[in-house]
Amino acid sequence: MPRFSTADGLSLHYTDEGEGLPILCLSGLTRNATDFDYVTPHLHDARLIKLDYRGRGQSDWAQDPATYSIPTEGGDAIALLDHLGLDRAAVLGTSRGGLIAMGLAATVPDRILGAALNDIGPEFDPAGIANIMGYLGRNPDWSTYTEAARERPKYMKGFDNVPPERWMQEVRKLYLETPDGLQINYDPRLRDAVEVAGASPVPDLWPFFDALAGKPLCCIRGANSDLLSPETLAEMERRRPDMIVADVPDRAHIPFLDEPQAVLALRTWLQEFP
């Protein structure tokens, strides 16, 4: 099982498969490398490097939950590139992963070839943040995968025409089935770190987005997203008229990335790299 060590001594899990353009795949806040299982067959001509952040998936939990932060996780991502001997990579970032991509573009621009942002931008809709805080760090009420997959469509507002087998795949990625019921597949203290970060004023992230200037850029938005508003996406397009954009119907936060609109956008994005 491939692993590497961080500067503060944690062992983090990753996968590395394929050949071609190296793409560092960075998942959502509570999620892990399996976020990208659905899109992998559609990016067969690229090298996909998928990271489990500290405290998520198969990676070690941090002793200090304060290190569950975007700067630290960005540092871990660069440490992974160093471990693999890669000077640069593109980033496919889902939600928090997209924020990390923008942060890396601003702080270590020579390491980032370009970015694809999955339902994230420099501003957040408060409704989306409230929804995330409603479940962050808490085990679900469901007892089994079967129950969770059956009930998840009621919980995932804005997602339509999703086959039952996809919901079963999702709950298996997100939870561990135990004799005591389903448990989240990450350190619950992640909630503490997010609450502390949320107590401070949100910084202006537009300069971080602007740091991607001159690099191939793509943004995929769920048409029913409660986090990335149409207004924010419009401003992103105004600043980057060359940005590849996909609006995925029947999806909220976040698209699965194997929808036809998402695949077309990502394939077009790949063509922009030398």
Q: Give residue 202's pLDDT.
A: 80
Fold classification of 3-137+201-270 is: Rossmann fold (3.40.50)
pTM of structure: 0.96
Q: How far is CA 126 from CA 5, 29, 194, 206, 237, in A?
A: 35, 16, 14, 17, 21
Q: Residues 6 or more apart from 115 whose CB is under 8 A from it?
A: 90, 91, 92, 93, 98, 101, 102, 105, 212, 215, 216, 217, 218
Query: Do residues 248 and 224 lie in contact, with contact meaning Cβ atoms separated by under 8 Å?
Result: no
Q: How far is CA 108 from CA 30, 51, 105, 177, in A?
A: 25, 18, 6, 40
Distance CA 178, CA 166 (A): 21
Distance CA 30, CA 14 (A): 16
CA proximity to 91, closest of 198, 208, 261, 225? 208
Coil, helix or strand at residue 124: coil
Q: For 174-237, give the DSSP string.
A: HEEEETTEEEESB-TTHHHHHHHHHTSPPP--HHHHHTTTTS-EEEEEETT-SSS-HHHHHHHH
Residue count of the chain, please give it.
Answer: 274
**What is the pLDDT tens value at each position of the chain, 274 positions in all?**
799 999 999 999 999 999 999 999 999 999 999 999 999 999 999 999 999 999 999 999 999 999 999 999 999 999 999 999 999 999 999 999 999 999 999 999 999 999 999 999 999 988 889 999 999 999 999 999 999 999 999 989 999 999 999 999 999 999 999 999 999 999 999 999 999 887 777 889 999 999 999 999 999 999 999 999 999 999 999 999 999 999 999 999 999 999 999 999 999 999 999 8
DSSP state for residue 62 in the 8-state scheme: P
Give the max Cα distance, the chain: 52
CA proximity to 118, closest of 260, 247, 10, 273? 247
List b or e across 199-218, with b for residues whose CB sees 16 or more CB atoms inside 10 angstroms.
Answer: eeeeeebbebbebbeebbbb
User: Where do you find CATH 3.40.50.1820 in the chain?
Assistant: 3-137+201-270
Q: Which amino acid is at 109?
A: P
